[in-house]
Amino acid sequence: MSEPVMAQAAPYGVELQPGDYWWCRCGLSKKQPFCDGSHKPTAFVPLKVTVTEARKYWLCGCKRTAGEPFCDGTHKSLTAP
- Tens of pLDDT, residue by residue over 4-44, are 999 999 999 999 999 999 999 999 999 999 999 999 999 99
Which domain range does residue 40 map to?
12-77
1 is a domain residue: no
Total structural domains in the chain?
Answer: 1
> Would you say residue 56 lies in a domain?
yes
CA distance 68 to 30: 19
- Give CA 29 to chain center in angstroms: 9
Q: What is the pLDDT of residues 47-58, one digit of tens each?
A: 999 999 999 999
Compare 79 and 49 and report the one with higher pLDDT. 49
Reply yes or no on whether the pLDDT at 79 is more than 80.
Answer: no
pTM of the model: 0.91
- Omega into 69 within 30° of 0, i.e. cis? yes
Task: Measure the CA dihedral 55/47/11/52, to 10°.
Answer: 10
Secondary structure letter of residue 70 according to DSSP: B
